[in-house]
């Protein structure tokens, strides 16, 4: 739907055009009812020129995501709102058209002031209805935006999930074939996580993951991102970063985990991490970098765990 602030200009422009048309056609002896009909047509043509005739499917396709049941419900609600708005505008149009025609029928000549008064009432009703529709649609769009954000977040750790990684990867790696990018990927795997779950229970395992997620988020910069890659695996993408600086962050995380312990039901859970780090090379994709980082994690495991391997 076009911006509401443009409606005022459209109506004023239409009124000017209508006034000129009436003045010209009165001189030529045109029929009064024809003048009224042309006035209404002129106004709606001005609206149509500026996009107030919009295909509902096109609106939904451009404004709303239809990937979840909730989004579909919102889409349906938005369509209903749009249809109701159109119906309301039609009723407003018909009511005021009848009133304007009544004025025209009662007078041999059109009273310009009466006509302007009716058109001012028309403008007021129209703006109110459009404002009401815009408020509802804005609220729906905000709800969709919030749903989209939630769908990109891992529910347990509150880190970004695999879906978010795919979206960010497409954006970050757009020019990867053309040049080297200042991107470093760090893969992190919790050592012996199955043993933690088996010994202390899955709730304890969840607490380990939540604790690590908080540590990762507090250790990276605002424009770096941490993801839960799957299970006890995590991925950090350092954007606009040099390998040496990313290595320092990885070592700092590893040291913090190594030197701290989680107390769960009066039992000490010691955590260590195996990490694999790689920097972007010309022609790399996100997938190729993850493969190298994963191979580095495997090497760290083979060499005794609790260490960082750089490839």
Six-digit token string for 297: 């994690």
**286, 252 contact by CB (below 8 A):** no
Given this model, what pLDDT does residue 98 score? 54
Q: Which of 232, 279, 287, 303 is catalytic?
A: 232
Helices (H) and strands (E) in the chain — how many of each? 10, 7
Please give the Cα distance from 291 to 293 (Å, whole number).
Answer: 6
10-residue averages of pLDDT along the chain (311 residues): 53 68 65 59 62 45 47 58 60 59 55 62 66 68 61 86 89 74 94 94 92 93 93 95 95 90 86 96 90 97 96 92
Report field, pTM of the whole predicted structure over 0.85: no
Handedness of CA 64, 68, 74, 78 (dihedral sign): positive
Please tell me whether residue 223 adopts helix, strand or coil conformation: coil
The first and second tokens of residue 260, run together, are 């701290």
Q: Quick one: pLDDT at residue 187?
A: 98
- 57 flagged as catalytic: no
Residue carrying structure tokens 């408020």: 135
What distances in angstroms separate CA 170 from CA 145, 188, 233, 304, one per listed residue?
A: 20, 22, 21, 35
The confidence score (pLDDT) of residue 74 equals 58
**What SS3 class is residue 261?**
strand
Q: Would you state the torsion angle of the CA atoms of residues 40, 43, 47, 48, taken in this order, to the nearest 10 degrees?
A: 60
Separation of alpha carbons 68 and 65, rounded Å: 8
The predicted structure's pLDDT at residue 64: 41
153 DSSP 8-state letter: B
Name the one residue in this structure whose structure tokens are 């889409």: 75
CA distance 156 to 234: 13
DSSP letters along 25-76, please? HHHTT--HHHHHHHHHHHHHHHHHHTT-S--HHHHHHHH---SSHHHHHHHH
Q: State how far Cα 14 lies from the chain centre.
A: 36
Q: How far apart are CA 169 and CA 159, in angstroms?
A: 16
């Amino acid at each position: 739907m076009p911006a509401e602030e443009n409606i005022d200009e459209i109506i004023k422009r239409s009124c000017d055009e209508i006034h000129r048309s009436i003045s010209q056609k009165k001189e030529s002896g045109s029929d009064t009812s024809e003048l009224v009909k042309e006035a209404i047509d002129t106004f709606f043509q001005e609206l149509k020129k500026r996009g107030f005739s919009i295909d509902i499917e096109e609106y939904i396709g451009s404004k709303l995501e239809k990937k979840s049941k909730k989004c579909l419900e919102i889409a349906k609600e938005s369509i209903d709102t749009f249809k109701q708005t159109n119906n309301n505008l039609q009723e407003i149009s018909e009511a005021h058209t009848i009133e304007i025609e009544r004025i025209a029928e009662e007078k041999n000549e059109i009273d310009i002031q009466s006509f302007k008064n009716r058109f001012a009432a028309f403008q007021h009703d129209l703006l109110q209805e459009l404002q009401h529709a815009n408020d509802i649609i804005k609220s729906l769009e905000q709800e969709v935006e919030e749903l989209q954000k939630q769908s990109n977040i891992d529910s347990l750790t509150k880190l970004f999930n695999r879906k978010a990684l795919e979206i960010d990867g497409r954006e970050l790696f757009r020019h990867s074939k053309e040049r080297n990018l200042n991107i470093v990927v760090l893969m992190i795997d919790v050592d012996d996580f199955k043993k933690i779950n088996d010994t202390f229970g899955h709730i304890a395992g969840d607490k380990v993951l939540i604790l690590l997620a908080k540590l990762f988020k507090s250790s990276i910069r605002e424009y770096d991102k941490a993801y839960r890659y799957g299970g006890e695996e995590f991925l950090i993408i350092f954007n606009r970063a040099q390998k040496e600086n990313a290595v320092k962050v990885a070592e700092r995380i590893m040291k913090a985990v190594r030197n701290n312990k989680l107390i769960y039901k009066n039992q000490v859970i010691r955590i260590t991490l195996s990490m694999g780090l790689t920097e972007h090379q010309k022609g790399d994709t996100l997938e190729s970098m993850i493969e190298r980082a994963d191979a580095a994690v495997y090497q760290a495991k083979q060499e005794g765990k609790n260490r960082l391997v750089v490839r």
